[in-house]
Amino acid sequence: MTDARTAPHLDAVLAFVDRERARFVDDLTAWCRVPSISSSPAHVGEMRRSAEFLVAQFRALGADEATVIETPGHPAAFGEWRVDPALPTVLVYGHHDVQPVDPIEQWSSPPFEPTVRDGRLYGRGVVDDKGQVYIHAKAIEAFVKAGGGKPPVNLKLIVEGEEEIGSEHLDGILREHEERLRADYVVVSDTAMFGRGIPSLCVGLRGIAYWDVKLTAHKLDCHSGSFGGGVPNPATALAEIIAKLHDERGHVTIPGFYDRVRALPESERREIESLPFDEKEFLASTGARAAVGEQGFTTLERLWTRPTLEVNGLSSGWQGPGSKTIVPATASAKLSSRLVPDQDPEEISRLVETHLKRLAPKGVEVEVTFLHGGRPYLAPTEHPVFDVAKRAFSRAFGRPTVFIREGGSIPFVRTIADRTGKPCLLMGFGQPDENAHAPNEWLDLENFHLGIKSVIYLYDEIRALGRS
């Protein structure tokens, strides 16, 4: 779809996107066949294959540089198109690693054999985040093949391999490749739109801190007849501790937890209130029967502007078929917090560890291991590039663009914003019910198509905006 404001030179580029629409989906499918599960030691080779696959695509699209960036963990992919030093440089970030597929029996088609049904592509990583990375790659392809051989701005694509497991080696990449990654603007496509057909710029992300908690009471599991009632039970202790982490109003009880939480300005509260949020639909997307959380806040406020402390996993004692009469030796939990400005993962981690240890009952030892953290982000929306992005997004989708926040985390965003001082645009093309991290993840193929056009408009308009 073009309109009166479209510069004539873009017509051929946009027409190419229309013409190649189906083939672009085939190309994405080929990449999504690579099972790049970063958390799985068995998939180390696939992580490399995925990075190399992408680098080969960059090369085929005439990148001036296309290379695998090594880390002590999984490799990242990097591609650069140098057009003219006088033009702005845009750094695009995404990730090529994906989440595990279990419970696999709940998939309607195999996760690594992407399948089109009803205008959607189903498969692991199709929207989080390979499809969104390909939106940029295909926009570049359209400029290269139908727009005079070069994109309209200098472009750098950095596609990480450890986003889904906490971006452990990201700081190292940013430090080692500071010069190579220097840019005027940063664009990340790894978020969802507010609803069907609603172009949405994400202007806030929550941060995260993640812990492994282990309770130990005995050397070995022991007979629950001979010992039960006379010795501590770590599973019971863990349940008691967890039950004390929230009060009856849904607040986290850890002392100091809220000390740095910024109050939500009234203007933003009203802005959130004005979004067409359908709570019933939100609940239906998970099958939940009720909305719960901190008292005094609406659901969107809770998800976007308030911190949490969640149990992500619990285990202790006999989990096999039938019964086994033991007092377990240990119990463990995976806990994590979503963090909001100005909470800091390390500081929160100290508070959590101290509190959990204080709650340990007699005879039970509590060990807390910090697994990873990432800080929250709030975008500088007064920067002119946000107006440019709104316009580009709306031109492609034919609707006004809204500002939203997300409850999820992308550690790169705050890290790059702090290191460079450059504005970071979160232009995402997912859908809220896309089943990210769950069985039957899907990509809306209309969003994929219009996403490519949005990015074409965005690059073109950033060229006109100039360097930052």
Minimum CB distance to ligand BES, residue 430 (Å): 7
Q: Closer to Zn ion at the Cβ: 25 or 188?
A: 188
Q: Closer to ligand BES at the Cβ: 361 or 408?
A: 408
Region of 187-195, 199-207, 276-284, 308-316 interacting with Zn ion (CB under 5 A): 187-195
Minimum CB distance to Zn ion, residue 129 (Å): 4
Active site residue 178: no
* Side-chain half-sphere CA neighbours of 377 within 13 A: 31
Crossing angle between the packed helical segments 9-19 and 21-32, to the nearest 10 degrees: 60
Q: Which tokens sit at 77?
A: 């992919």
460 binds, among ligand BES, Zn ion, none (CB under 5 to 8 A by kind): none
Which phi-psi region, left, alpha or beta, contains residue 440 (left: φ > 0; alpha: ψ -120 to 50)?
left
d(CA 164, CA 432): 18
Binder among 20, 80, 128, 162 for Zn ion (CB under 5 A): 128
Residue found by looking up tokens 């989990």 in the block: 319
Region of 68-76, 114-122, 126-134, 390-398 interacting with Zn ion (CB under 5 A): 126-134
Q: How many residues does the chain have?
A: 468
17 binds, among Zn ion, ligand BES, none (CB under 5 to 8 A by kind): none
Q: Closer to ligand BES at the Cβ: 131 or 328?
A: 131
d(CA 132, CA 327): 49
Binder among 80, 129, 434, 441 for Zn ion (CB under 5 A): 129
Which phi-psi region, left, alpha or beta, contains residue 118 (left: φ > 0; alpha: ψ -120 to 50)?
left
CB-based burial, 120-144: b 16+ in 10 Å, e otherwise:
bbbbbbbbbbbbbbbbbbbbbbbbb
Secondary structure element (H or E) that encloses residue 94, with its range: strand 89-95
Active site residue 118: no
Is residue 434 at the binding interface for Zn ion, with CB under 5 A as the rule?
no
Minimum CB distance to ligand BES, residue 466 (Å): 30
List phi, psi (to 5°) of 13. -65, -45
Minimum CB distance to ligand BES, residue 177 (Å): 21
User: Which residue out of 46, 80, 97, 184 is catalytically annotated?
Assistant: 97
List phi, psi (to 5°) of 365. -95, 135
Minimum CB distance to ligand BES, residue 5 (Å): 30
Minimum CB distance to Zn ion, residue 128 (Å): 4
DSSP 3-state helix, strand, coil percentages of the chain (rounded to 5)?
A: 35, 20, 45
Secondary structure element (H or E) that encloses residue 316, with its range: strand 310-316
Question: How far, in Å, are 140, 187, 280, 382, 452 from residue 385 at the CA level?
Answer: 20, 11, 35, 8, 18
Q: Closer to Zn ion at the Cβ: 81 or 122?
A: 122
For ligand BES, the binding residues (CB under 6 A) are 128-129, 163-164, 166, 190-192, 208, 374, 406, 408-411
User: Which residue out of 163, 164, 441, 444 is catalytically annotated?
Assistant: 163
Closest residue by beta carbon to ligand BES: 408
d(CA 399, CA 401): 6
Minimum CB distance to Zn ion, residue 166 (Å): 12
Burial (0-12, 13-18, 19+ Cβ within 10 Å), 400? exposed
List phi, psi (to 5°) of 291. -85, 130
Q: Closer to ligand BES at the Cβ: 79 or 94?
A: 94
Is residue 460 at the binding interface for Zn ion, with CB under 5 A as the rule?
no
Q: Closer to ligand BES at the Cβ: 128 or 460?
A: 128
Is residue 406 at the binding interface for Zn ion, with CB under 5 A as the rule?
no
341 binds, among Zn ion, ligand BES, none (CB under 5 to 8 A by kind): none
Binder among 20, 97, 184, 190 for Zn ion (CB under 5 A): 190
Q: Closer to Zn ion at the Cβ: 132 or 308?
A: 132
Q: Which residues are catalytic?
A: 97, 163
Q: Given the rule CB under 5 A, which residues bind Zn ion?
A: 128-129, 190
